[in-house]
Amino acid sequence: MPDRRDPQAGRTVRPEAAVAVTPAHSAVLPTVREVLRMEPVARALPEVLTGRERLDAPVRWVHVAETAEAARLGSGGELLLATGVGWPSDEAALRRLGRVLIEADVAGVVLELGPPMPVAPAALVDEFRTAGLPFAVLHREARFVAITEAVHSRIIAEQMGALRARDDIHALFTDLSLRGSPADFIVEQAARVLGSPVVLEDTGHRVVAAAGLDAGDRAGEEAELADWEQRSRAAHRDAVAGGEQRSRGVNRDAPAGGSRTSPSEAARPLAGGGAGGGWTIVPVEARGMRWGHLVALPGEPHPAGRSNVLEQAAVALALSRLSDRDDDEWTRRGHDALLTALLGRRFAGEGGVTARFEAAGFPLSGRTVAGVALRLRSGTLPVSAAPRVVEAARAAGADAVAGRHPEQAGVLVVAVSARPGRALTDALFASLADAAGSARLDDPAAVVAVGSEARGITGLLSSLEEAVELAAGAAARPDARLGRGVVIQRVQHRPLLRLVNALGNDPRMLEHTEHLLRPLIEYDLATGGDLVEVLRAYLSHPGNRTRAAAASHLSRSVFYQRIALIEELLGMDLDDGETVAALHAAVLARRPTPPA
């Protein structure tokens, strides 16, 4: 659930401009290292004496500053050029000069060696080395005008490029907002623009949507999402701690005498350190409500600034959130995407899809899991069914992911993970059915099909497929009935189905299915017929052709005609027990045709 930040707020909160986020300025500002490599500087043979570890600091501007007073009047981030003509000569004064320059938070100092200062003062070098401030000397005469012109031209040109890039980003995410693009697509576009993984998480640090994870690299996706909640919480703590230091004036990046961090800075982009080093984190807020955070993992700088891209994406997500039908929209869509990818086998490796489920708050490691397929008697699921089922599972001591089946209308698929020391009982499954049907008082009864208890993501997939197959024949005899007419069907009581699912995609099973059913499949494809599904209904109700005809939605006379045609095409007698067993295995191995 979202965090309400201000009950009185009635306006949409836009994230504010970026402040001191680790790589934000490097997209438009040259670094000290780059300035030293520019032609006007390189000609003078620069030599770095101190601060090599900070040569990648951004240079905001270049000044010629021959006195301590001139250096003190800077606002931070400047690269100072000097010949030493105005510098003191005694050691104590030189150390004071060094401290003034350090406190002014300059990006670095470049000294041209010459008659006024033939060698770098040892006292100054010592002060700069202690502070880690970049200090370079030029062994040849340099044209300071040419240096300042080159650097300032670069800064202005890149700032103009940044403005154009920001306009493009603003247009992109504005268009997405106006089109009502869903959250997962907005996240996908942010990842595409940044060229790095982007994750949308809720306020509980569960992953709602993720994009830019290298699906082609089996280890990549798993590594990016592994232990997501713990890493995300650590990154947020580090970012908040850094913000508190800035508010106390500890951050040396702030100009001396500058204002402290305002309360609104809580909504500004953050740079996560520690476990989330290099992360850029932006809150997604609207009408005083914080719905989650948008997180960009480390990547190359963007001309518009990585934090600016995330801010624009966060605004689009906030507008999308305001247009959603209810508070559970993000979670529901996220669960639908997870289950669709799993059931459709749209994943490169087990590790990646396992990491996605666990990052969404569905633990798999060391857990007993099972797949469930649920269908109301009316065949119509209320919009709130999935989130209600998830909450019911949590109340009963389990974690769950629930979503509509991607192909079978009216079927809700639920992945259930039992918490340590808890069992997957009929009472739990009955509570899921009750939660799904609670929004329809006129339709309290439900059928719950439960697959085998399993371990790991492959076991969960098999269990879900078993449950869906059971749900397809929900009119079959019940295995148990629990209050309010709830029907529980377990795959344990369907040994043939368990055997077929255990064989999975074994080529021999596939060959058996193709050999037996080919005449019916080819007939259906040529005529648009339904012989395979009629045979499925017949085999699901052995010895009861009346119920089989009802399950096929055909009159008895038409159903008998279909059965006669099936026997003719197959050249088999459907009253023979061995034939029925072989055909039943073949039909179970062939998934039901999704409804039109």
Q: Is residue 307 part of a domain?
A: yes
Same domain, yes or no, for 453 and 472? yes
- List, for residues 246-260, the tens digit of each pLDDT value: 444 433 333 333 333
Which residues face 211 on adjacent strands?
198
- List, for residues 154-175, the tens digit of each pLDDT value: 888 877 877 888 888 999 999 9
Q: Is there a contact between 414 and 463 (Cβ–Cβ < 8 Å)?
A: no
Count of structural domains within the chain? 4
Same domain, yes or no, for 391 and 492? yes
Same domain, yes or no, for 117 and 193? no
What is the secondary structure of 292-350 as a DSSP string? Answer: EEEEE-S----TT-HHHHHHHHHHHHHHHHHHSSSTTHHHHHHHHHHHHHHHTT--S-H
Same domain, yes or no, for 208 and 297? yes
Average pLDDT, whole number, for the chain? Answer: 80
- HEC sequence for 350-412: HHHHHHHHHHCCCCCCCCEEEEEEEEECCCCCCCCHHHHHHHHHHHCCEEEEEEECCCCCCCE
What confidence score (pLDDT) does residue 71 get? 64
Banded pLDDT at 67 (limits 50, 70, 90): confident
* Domain boundary, last residue among 454, 486, 503: 503
- List, for residues 486-498, the tens digit of each pLDDT value: 678 887 767 777 6
Q: 173 vs 6, 178, 209, 309, 553, CA distance in Å?
A: 26, 9, 17, 9, 48
Same domain, yes or no, for 402 and 434? yes
Q: Is residue 523 part of a domain?
A: yes
* Domain boundary, last residue among 95, 118, 141: 141
Q: What is the mean pLDDT of residues 223-231?
A: 88
Banded pLDDT at 293 (limits 50, 70, 90): very high
The CATH number of whichever domain residue 108 belongs to comes to 3.40.1390.20
Same domain, yes or no, for 226 and 288? yes
- List, for residues 397-441, the tens digit of each pLDDT value: 999 999 988 887 778 999 999 999 999 998 898 888 888 876 444
Structural domain boundaries enclosing 195:
3-10+179-324
Tell me: pLDDT of 10 over 80: no
* Domain boundary, last residue among 89, 123, 141: 141
Tell me: pLDDT of 269 over 60: no
Q: Which of 37-41, 462-466, 502-506 has the highest mean pLDDT?
A: 37-41
Q: Is residue 219 part of a domain?
A: yes
What confidence score (pLDDT) does residue 286 get? 78
Q: What is the mean pLDDT of residues 268-277?
A: 49
Q: Is residue 297 part of a domain?
A: yes
Tell me: pLDDT of 109 over 90: yes
Q: Is residue 208 part of a domain?
A: yes
Same domain, yes or no, for 451 and 570? no
Same domain, yes or no, for 391 and 413? yes
Of residues 357 and 14, more confidently modeled: 357
Same domain, yes or no, for 381 and 452? yes
What does residue 79 show for φ and ψ, rounded to 5 degrees? -100, 120
Q: Is residue 18 part of a domain?
A: no
Global pTM value: 0.62
Same domain, yes or no, for 314 and 433? no
Q: Is residue 24 part of a domain?
A: no
Q: What is the mean pLDDT of residues 377-393?
A: 81
Same domain, yes or no, for 286 and 228? yes
What confidence score (pLDDT) does residue 65 get? 85
- List, for residues 576-596, the tens digit of each pLDDT value: 888 888 888 888 777 655 443
Same domain, yes or no, for 186 and 308? yes
What confidence score (pLDDT) does residue 456 get? 93
Q: Is residue 166 part of a domain?
A: no
